[in-house]
Amino acid sequence: MIRRSFKTLVFFIALAAGIGQIEAQQVKFPFQDPSKTIDERVADLISRLTLEEKAGQMLNAAPGIERLGILPYDWWSESLHGVARTGKATVFPQNIGLGATFDEDLMYRIGVATSDEAWAKFNVAQKLNNYSRYSGITFYAPNVNIFRDPRWGRGQETFGEDPYLTGRLGTQFVKGMQGDDPKYLKTAACAKHYVVHSGPEALRHSYNAEPPTKDFFETYTPAFKMLVTEGKVESVMCAYNRTFGKACCGSSYLLNDLLRNQWGFKGYVTTDCWAVHNFYKFHGVSADQAEACALAIKSGVNLNCGDEFAKVPEAVKRGLITEKEVDAALAVLLRTRFKLGLFDPVNNNPYSKIGTEVIASEKHRQLAYEAAAKSVVLLQNKNNILPLKKDMKTLYVIGPYAASQDILLGNYNGVNDQLTTILEGVVGKVSLGTSVGYRAGILPGALNQNPADWAGSEAMEADYIVAVFGISGAYEGEEGEAILSGTSGDRLDLGLPQNQLDYLRTLRKRGSKPIILVLTGGSPICTPELADLADAILFAWYPGQEGGKAVADIIFGDVNPSGRLPITFPKSVYQLPAFQDYSMAGRTYKYMKEEPLYPFGFGLSYTNFSYSGIKLNKAQIAKGDSVEVSVTITNNGKVAGEEVTQLYLTDLQASAGTPVYALKKFARVKLASGESKLVKFMVTPEMMNLVKDDGSIVIEPGDFKVWVAGSSPSDRAKSLGASEPQSAVFKLKK
């Protein structure tokens, strides 16, 4: 009894000392010996665990095991756009805004910054004996689902509607998060939610997604495959719903055949949180919790976010699964923990030396500013009203979100004590001699109870009006999150809230003062009338902690807008197929045949870019060859700017249905006034892949059309002011 009390005392002394990993002390067990291979260490640790302890280590909130010196660890942490839900951190723009940057290098640097802050915060949390949720270094991000329907409330968490753009940005984020040390993993990123998961939110626990096989391989899986094969993502999260009749977390086809055997995934699979509960509660694929545990593990799950795996011992006792199968699943999971250095001496992992000075540092603040500035999309600029001069006499800022910090954050967000609202950004930018007025004017989603309206009258007395309207996380988000949504966070009406629209109409009727409309939100606001009510329109998304400064710098010309839409804005929901239909027919820029309000890839600038002289190095190629595409881009305007050059490909002679055009490459190109640059892209054989109706992938001979432009090459883009696309055709010989 005395000996046990002494061991307990030693264990808690270690906790109080803030030891998140094993101290540099004498190795007691082989699994604590860093000189041994990970496989040897994993095998030794598993051999020392009881079945109940094994089950506990497969829960996201894994308990400590005192007799082995193992401390508690919670696998559930969030870092969608910066470290989230765990105190002070740098808040980058919400992912849909990051998608609008079309900037791979930026995403890599955000991944590096986020993982730096993650380690710094982890070190402090360990010293506080804080082993609670969100305090670890294994993250449930990025979300690489396809924003296939703009009504989905969680679309804001994605990089947009295009699989290629999503895959490229997600891969770079993963690389930044996971580091490049030859021995140690920096943090573990997670590709979620696998797979075919994008609403409706109200049905997410019970619905069965049945896309055509062609769409499954052409749209829903490519980003996940890219993160696995190129990004080497450490974790994949299986989704709540069923796909092809099987619960995603209980589908051996998804988790073993496709993910592991075909794509070569080596990491661990985690369930979405309490997804195993859905097996017997909603999907009807298991009779009870023990059966659900057995099905999940047999299908390829390693970690249970939730508490259902507490029934693993019962499942073994009932013969539903063997302890050997449990050991195999646990071994995969423990490998990650060893790769992170969590069973090594404290300072072995080089990333453990990252100090707290990086948290919300000036360097990271500047990175958040860069991301915000690159994310804002200029949708309209009548008579080149923007940029405004800073030394105007009077300016009025109006709107329900002008002074809102909430619209900076999005969801799955961190918090920061240096959030700059759009009002603050504008006030900090204009001349000290400028008179600036401000009132909210209208509530976000309801009529004012007081019918008097001084704000509208005062606004008409100013030289210019900056109106900040739109939506916030109260309208869209995850199930249970959006408090003004009557549809579990989804938006079945894509228009500007009616009371806000009516107020803008009133402002326009009162006078002819120029209105600069700044729209906030994580999904399209599809109200064509806004083009008549405003002189200029900026879409700011949820722009992060530096959003107010970035928007103000764009309004007053210190930054030339360069964001591009990562999702199509339809004219109304009536242009969309049924929300629950997972076929891609009629969806996104790739398959939509109706004219949109604003097309994918679109965004204006304060200068004019033109494309000329497109050339292909080969007019005909053999199978397996690539084609080099070159085009000259010229800045014809008076100010420097950054153009997002986009290459699209159309298969003109395919034996199966193909996209109207598909994004295959993109690059940001900086050009001074009057400057021209020759930009080159390589069209590889992989880009010519045709996904057939049965899901098989082939490359067929025939003609291919290449487009290079600053937007998707639609007539609508040109009518809105986008540059004329350049195109050329090459032939793939038989």
Given 104, 162, 201, 272, the catalytic residue? 272
Strand order in the sheet with 268-271: 190-194, 235-238, 268-271
For the stretch 640-651, what's the b/e string if a residue is b when 16 or more beta carbons lie within 10 angstroms of its beta carbon? ebbbbbbbbbbb
Give catalytic status of residue 675 as yes or no: no
Structure tokens at 471: 């939506």
Q: How far apart are CA 122 and CA 286, in angstroms?
A: 38
Q: How far apart are CA 223 and CA 216, in angstroms?
A: 11
Strand (E) positions, 586-711? Answer: 609-616, 620-621, 627-635, 641-651, 662-671, 676-683, 690-691, 697-698, 702-709
* Residue 474: Cβ-neighbour burial (10 angstroms; 0-12, 13-18, 19+): middle
| 141 three-class SS | coil
**CA dihedral over 77, 80, 83, 87, signed as positive or negative:** negative
Q: How far apart are CA 244 and CA 67, in angstroms?
A: 45
Q: How far apart are CA 171 and CA 157, in angstroms?
A: 15
How many of the other CB atoms lie within 10 Å of CB of 156?
Answer: 28
The 8 Å CB, 24+ separation contacts for 309-315 are 309/55, 309/58, 309/59, 309/276, 310/55, 310/56, 310/59, 311/55, 312/51, 312/54, 312/55, 312/58, 313/51, 313/52, 313/55, 314/289, 314/290, 315/290, 315/291
CA dihedral 376, 531, 644, 550 (to 10 degrees): -20
CA 326 to chain centre: 33
Q: How far apart are CA 134 and CA 86, in angstroms?
A: 6
Query: Do 297 and 312 touch, CB atoms closer than 8 A?
Result: yes
Closest C-alpha among 10, 47, 36, 60 to residue 343: 36
Phi, then psi, of 705 in degrees rounded to 5: -105, 130
Q: How far apart are CA 96 and CA 157, in angstroms?
A: 6
Give catalytic status of residue 272 as yes or no: yes
Given 157, 234, 476, 479, the catalytic residue? 476
How many of the other CB atoms lie within 10 Å of CB of 507?
Answer: 25
* Residue 604: Cβ-neighbour burial (10 angstroms; 0-12, 13-18, 19+): buried
The residues that are catalytic are: 272, 476
